[in-house]
Copies of this chain bind each other. A is one copy, B any other.
Amino acid sequence: ALVPLLFEQSTPGKRAVTFPAPDVPAVEISEAIPADLLRQVPPALPELSEVEVVRHFTQLSRLNHGVDVDFYPLGSCTMKYNPKVNEEAARIPGFALTHPMQPAETVQGNLKLLHTLERWLCEVTGMDRMTFQPAAGAQGELTGILLIRAYHEARGEGERNEVIVPDSAHGTNPATAAMAGYRVVPVKSMPDGSIDLESLRQTVGPKTAALMMTNPSTLGLFDPHVKEITEIVHEAGGLCYYDGANLNAIMGYARPGDMGFDVVHINLHKTFSTPHGGGGPGSGPVGVKSHLVPFLPVPVVEQQGDRYVLDWDRPQSIGKLHAFWGNFGVVVRAYAYVLAHGPALKEVSEYAVLNANYVMAHLKKYYDVFVDRYCMHECVLAARTLKQETGVKTLDVAKRLLDEGVHPPTIYFPLIVEEALMIEPTETEDKATLDRFIDAMIRIHDEARSNPEHVKAAPHKTPVGRLDEALAARRPNLRYKREQC
């Protein structure tokens, strides 16, 4: 093992953090708690000293890649740099040490921050109101679809039971629709990832509750017919949901609200630069047009004069998504991020698009491009030809990139592109880094011809080699058990 497990390092009797002796008259636990509710065997937590804990996690961290370490062009995930000032911001005691059940008059700063950022994000997306309850994009989607459901039900159109999802969509879209109790109706994409209008026209109807759409699509291309698409859906009585996964492409250039969308979610951890944390916490605020406002989750932050209150009295609300008000600490970071840019948020998108096109311009001679058009904030390439000619597939290219110290792009997605490589550099990378990546990709392309076996055996320089995922699935070992060590 590179680093032993906490449990393997444990020795009975070791302590790190201790606590003071009780300063109140003692209560006999057996008198306070009935015997059948008391734990007989204490949980077998590891016993370690502080130095061991700190070393353990320091060593683990050194096995990990992050944006702070080097380039991380994981398509669709918007792995941009996370400003350090935002980490300080979220840790200001006045924010970090407030309790969610405090009376509103004692958290005016928090409420003002939420209300203000709501306004700003509405401006960016062209929506009317917003909720910060969803803890991540997928929960934002669920919120949005439930809002749409509530809308239809309120209008007596509860029979609308279909949600249309393009085949290029993220898996969260169909999964969300299903979770909200809808039948998922796929609609085919054109080769450029845009929605086939004819096919859409044939799909919509009295059963249509909503269309879910990502624009730019997962191919990194803006659907030029978006306005027509939302009109088709609206005419059929459906609503339009905008998956904000790719919002980093269009800030200041176009707004989902202006494209005809009724609901939108934003990934603060993508577009607004809050850290991804190894897989969260994120934040997936949902914005709506005015006709959906009555259905927003409770409570809603309202301004009354110069005071802010939590409004729970919303009879049409879909309810709640989170025990409290969402991932507030993440929201603070996003607030700081907007403040750092102001109207120049537009430049974020400008440079995100520039960087993606720069990478594509250099790599399209080496990897397949299915749609030879300027892309938005990410470009989708493929190793289909490479695989045919050398046997080196996308997975191998990705693993070989690990040896270069950069994180590979997203691979095998979108599903409609064979051997896909989905590259999202983001705007926080400079030309030199992009050039280094481009060179590595070309070098691997060349190596696939000169020494394909070396590429297929990659990675060579990482702390572990290729891991046996089949074994992991066949014989699941999902937790430490004492007898294993």
Contact = CB atoms under 8 A, between A and B. Distances in A.
A9 B432 contact: yes
Given A55-B70, A62-B69, A68-B55, A50 B81 contact: yes
Contacts of A14: 430
B55 A59 contact: no
A81 B62 contact: no
Interface string A61-101: 01000011110000000000101100000000000000000
B69 A59 contact: yes
A9 B49 CA distance: 41
A453 interface: no
A54 interface: yes
Given A49-B430, A430-B49, A54 B70 contact: no
Contacts of A50: 81, 83-84
B58 A68 contact: yes
A428 interface: yes
Q: For the complex formed by this chain, how many copies does it contain in all?
A: 2
A52 interface: yes
A58 B64 CA distance: 12
Contacts of A69: 55, 58-59, 62
A83 B53 CA distance: 11
Contacts of A58: 68-69
Interface in A332-386: none
Contacts of A49: 428, 430
A287 to B, nearest CB: 29
Interface string A428-457: 111010000000000000000000000000
A11 interface: yes
Interface in A432-484: 432
A81 B68 contact: no
Contacts of A81: 50-51, 54
A344 to B, nearest CB: 12
A428 B49 CA distance: 9
B52 A430 contact: yes
A51 B59 CA distance: 23
B430 A54 contact: no
Contacts of A68: 54-55, 58
Contacts of A51: 67, 81, 428-430
Interface of A: 9, 11, 14, 49-52, 54-55, 58-59, 62, 67-70, 81, 83-84, 428-430, 432
27 contacts: A9-B432, A11-B430, A11-B432, A14-B430, A49-B428, A49-B430, A50-B81, A50-B83, A50-B84, A51-B67, A51-B81, A51-B428, A51-B429, A51-B430, A52-B430, A54-B68, A54-B81, A54-B84, A55-B68, A55-B69, A55-B70, A58-B68, A58-B69, A59-B69, A59-B70, A62-B62, A62-B69
Given A52-B430, A62-B69, 11 more contacts: A9-B432, A11-B432, A50-B83, A51-B429, A54-B68, A54-B81, A54-B84, A58-B68, A59-B69, A59-B70, A62-B62
